Structure 1
Amino acid sequence: MCVSGCLRCVGLMLVPLAVVCMLANVLLLLPGLQVHFLLEGHVTREATWATGLWGSGLLVRADCVCACVCVCVGGQLVYSCVCVLAAGFCSLVSGTGLVNGPLCLHNTSSGPAWGVPFKTTGDGGQVYLFERSLWSSVCLQPAGVVQWNVTLFSVLGGASALQTLLCTANILNTLLILLINTCGCHGNIYQRN
Structure 2
Amino acid sequence: MCSGGCAKCLGITLIPLAILSVLANILLFFPAGKVAASNDHISREVFYLGGLLGSGVLMIFPALVFLGMKQNDCCGCCGNESCGKRFAMFSSIIFAAIGFAGAAYNFIISAVAINKGPICLLTNGTWTYPFSDGNYLGNHDFWKNCTILNPGAKNEFDTEVIITWNLTLFCILLILGLAQGVLCAIQAINGLIGTICGDCKCCGCCGNDGPV
TM-score by length of 1: 0.85
- Return the alpha-carbon distance in structure 2 between the equivalents of residues 55 and 150 of structure 1: 19
2:142 to 134, 152, 158: 134
Count of matched residue pairs = 179
- Return the alpha-carbon distance in structure 2 between the equivalents of residues 51 and 180 of structure 1: 36
Q: Contact (CA 8 Å) 2:61, 2:95: kept in 1 or not? A: no
2:78 corresponds in structure 1 to none
Alignment of 1:137-176 (within 5 A): 137-142=144-149, 143=157, 144-176=161-193
Q: Secondary structure at the match of 2:137?
A: helix
2:9 corresponds in structure 1 to 9
Alignment of 1:23-62 (within 5 A): 23-37=23-37, 39-62=38-61
Q: CA deviation at 1:132?
A: 2.4
Alignment of 1:61-80 (within 5 A): 61-70=60-69, 72-80=88-96
1:106 to 109, 117, 122: 122
Q: CA deviation at 1:89?
A: 1.4
Q: CA deviation at 1:192?
A: 6.1
2:109 corresponds in structure 1 to 93
Question: More helix by proportion, 1 or 2?
Answer: 1
Structure 2: state its 5+ residue gaps.
Answer: 73-87, 150-156, 203-207
Q: Secondary structure at the match of 2:125?
A: strand
Q: CA deviation at 1:74?
A: 3.0
Q: CA deviation at 1:41?
A: 2.5
Q: CA deviation at 1:91?
A: 0.4
Q: CA deviation at 1:184?
A: 5.3
Moved more, 64-73 or 11-20: 64-73
**Pair 23,192 (structure 1): closer, same or farther in 2 beyond 3 Å:** farther
**RMSD of Structure 2 on Structure 1 (CA):** 2.0
Q: Secondary structure at the match of 2:147?
A: strand
- Return the alpha-carbon distance in structure 2 between the equivalents of residues 160 and 132 of structure 1: 27
Superposed CA offset, 1:101-146 (max 9, x none): 1011122xxx121000103xxxx2x2200112433x2222153221
Q: Secondary structure at the match of 1:29?
A: coil
Q: CA deviation at 1:100?
A: 0.6
Larger Rg: 2
Q: CA deviation at 1:167?
A: 0.6
- Return the alpha-carbon distance in structure 2 between the equivalents of residues 21 and 97 of structure 1: 15
**One-letter amino acid matched to 2:91:** G
